[in-house]
Amino acid sequence: GHALERLKERGIHMSETELKKLEGAVSSVAAKGGNESLIMVGDAALLVSVKNRTVITAFDRRNLDGNIFTRIDSAAIF
């Protein structure tokens, strides 16, 4: 629910398939010991609290030029 709210705020649409990929990515990052992760799925780049399974913020992947991500310990691209 929280993820969908963040995506809606940013005008980013994710299909049901992409949401399932996000869930799988969070589980994979958790299994590897990640805590705060940048996860890229479809047109979305999401900063995720893996421990809380919560999307902190979301960005349109096409508009990432010049962005710097700090306080992450992992990244997953799907």
> Residue 50: which of 70, 30, 71 has the closest Cα?
30
- Which residues of the chain fall short of a pLDDT of 50? none
What is the predicted pLDDT for the residue at 1? 63
What is the predicted pLDDT for the residue at 25? 97
What is the predicted pLDDT for the residue at 6? 72
The pair phi, psi for residue 71, each rounded to 5°, is 60, 30
What is the predicted pLDDT for the residue at 23? 94
